[in-house]
Amino acid sequence: MKYIIVTGGVMSGLGKGITTASVGRNLKNKGYKVTAIKIDPYINIDAGTMSPYQHGEVYVLKDGGEVDLDLGNYERFLDTELTRDHNLTTGKIYQTVIDKERKGEYLGKTVQIIPHITNEIKGRIRRIAAKSGADVCLIEVGGTVGDIESMPFLEAVRQMYREEAPENIAFLHVTLVPIDSQGDQKTKPTQHSVKELRELGLTPHVIVARCKKALTESTRSKIALFCDVPVEAVISAHDSADIYEVPLQLENEGLSNFLLKKLLLESKLEVEDTSWKEMVVRMNNCTGKVNVAIVGKYTHLEDSYISIVESLKHGAIETGCNFDITWFDAEAFDDDSNEVEKLSGFDGILVPGGFGERGTEGKMLAIRYARENNIPYLGLCLGMQLAVIEFARNVAGLEGANSSEFDENTPYPVIDLLPEQEDVVDMGATMRLGDYEATLKEGSLAESIYGESVITERHRHRYEVNPNYVDRIEESGMIFSGKNKNRMEIAEVPSNDFYFASQFHPEFKSRPGRPSPPFKAFMDAMLKKSKDKKDQ
């Protein structure tokens, strides 16, 4: 097994995740099977209980793992499916070690960071890598060098380097090269970051320098000299117009060839896979534009909805158009219902998932506006539940209908806990998480979108459409075109041109070059809406 270990210095948010995903994509293009592990030093067991304000989007994997958003980038760039094991946290490691200690597995020894915690980290990395069957395992160590939380993980990978053959591990360090007021690129932050890394016993083989503009040759040479790496191992990761261009940029910088040489590997393919490059060309040649309104409650923090934005991009690339997003805070509609009129000029309205009552009435005003004005509507998870409540209240005559999550005394709990979900043990115990099947109604919009009768999509929710109200709602014109036994998976309003709401999260399975069917269909509907407006 070959390992590429990615660390970061100077500051967080430099793009270690995109760099890791891009390296993996380029190796895949050369015929290698690649897997990826994200190490998050926080003590939480997983990202499931974190607020989007804290850590951005909670990404859900096929096995129900609630993980860091970087694993979403890994899945999209590598076009793969990972599991919860691919996200290591301090909480997971310590919980396992403490459980073993309680069972007496350490035979009375004093349990310490070294060797017990570090052995657990190394063991997990090696098991995950072996189980994947990959040729190369990428390991991103979250945080920055010097963070106290990261120390056990950095020590573990230091030990791995001692234990593995030198040609089996490469260290890649992502750092910052800022520009001063005179326009000069400054290398001191990189030098100090590498110095701190060395103090921990780690020596980088490659330095990926994040910078506004391409590294000058003098800057590159200075970093190579002071950080003791070859000039060709100093990689310029200057700002790109789009993250999907980063793999091409790193390839042009020679990063893949340097890593292959370090790991004693050669390209497995006579002709490399060019599908990613072709996708980027299509993206850059898109013409026209549609305008989409996203009505949510974390709208000032785009990372909260990163998979949705990327899925819209995937749909746009395949549709051949560009798109602009305008973010609307649902609470603004709560405060003044007339504000919803601002949605009139949009080609589509999207209401994403979420938890809690805040902003729900404003979201329902947006959903009603989309339905009554025949604006293409895409609802995701809570966006479906609120669509059902809105329809029940305003069309099916169920005045006061609501979710029992928001109003325990509602006369019509059209959204409710099903009987098997009523006893909550912990935050994740009663949620539907990960892959579930849905059977689609023949002749429905859903069936035409997916082109098949049975689909599998990822879920993250607790409340469901109450089966006791399904007949009443369907008699009024909304149909549930996707079902999993007594669980409603998809809601449509056939009298509208495009009205599609799903209990699942289709954005988690969307990929560049292979967009999620609902997002592609939504983009098609918005493009038609845009053209129809121009023809009027």
Q: How many CB atoms are located within 10 Å of the residue 241 CB? A: 9
307 assigned to a ligand binding site? no
100 assigned to a ligand binding site? no
419 assigned to a ligand binding site? no
421 assigned to a ligand binding site? no
- Catalytic residue selected from 66, 361, 489, 507: 507
Structure token pair of residue 474: 């369907």
Residue 507: active-site member: yes
Decide if 195 contacts 162 (C-beta within 8 A): no
384 assigned to a ligand binding site? yes
Radius of gyration for the chain, computed over Cα atoms and rounded to the nearest angstrom? 25
At 292, give phi and psi (nearest 5°): -120, 140
398 assigned to a ligand binding site? no
236/215 Cα distance (integer angstroms):
5
DSSP codes, 466-496: -GGGHHHHHHTT-EEEEEETTEEEEEE-TTS
3-state secondary structure string across 165-227: CHHHEEEEEEEECCECCCCCECCHHHHHHHHHHHHCCCCCCEEEEEECCCCCHHHHHHHHHHH
462 assigned to a ligand binding site? yes
- Catalytic residue selected from 86, 116, 173, 505: 505
7 assigned to a ligand binding site? no
Q: Which residues contact 338 (CB under 8 A, 6 or more apart)?
A: none
503 assigned to a ligand binding site? no
175 assigned to a ligand binding site? no
At 31, give phi and psi (nearest 5°): 100, 5
* Cα→Cα distances 235→177, 211, 230, 377, Å: 11, 10, 10, 44
383 assigned to a ligand binding site? yes
385 assigned to a ligand binding site? yes
Give 51's DSSP letter: -
Residue 381: active-site member: yes
Structure token pair of residue 318: 């395949």
18 assigned to a ligand binding site? yes
**Chain CA centroid to CA 269, Å:** 30
17 assigned to a ligand binding site? yes
Label residue 86 exposed, middle or buried (CB < 10 Å: 0-12, 13-18, 19+).
Answer: buried
Amino acid at 516: S
Decide if 356 contacts 53 (C-beta within 8 A): no
70 assigned to a ligand binding site? yes
At 303, give phi and psi (nearest 5°): -60, -20
382 assigned to a ligand binding site? yes
222 assigned to a ligand binding site? yes
- Catalytic residue selected from 211, 227, 321, 381: 381
189 assigned to a ligand binding site? yes
Residue 514's beta-bridge partner residues? Answer: 511
Residue 167: active-site member: no
426 assigned to a ligand binding site? no
Amino acid at 286: C
77/28 Cα distance (integer angstroms):
10
16 assigned to a ligand binding site? yes
Give 386's DSSP letter: H
354 assigned to a ligand binding site? yes
Residue 498 backbone class (left: φ over 0; alpha: ψ -120 to 50; beta: rest): beta
Binding site: what residues are annotated?
12-18, 53, 70, 140, 147-149, 186-191, 222, 354, 382-385, 405, 462
Active-site amino acid positions: 381, 505, 507
Binding site for CTP: what residues are annotated?
12, 147-149, 186-191, 222
Binding site for Mg(2+): what residues are annotated?
70, 140
Binding site for ATP: what residues are annotated?
13-18, 70
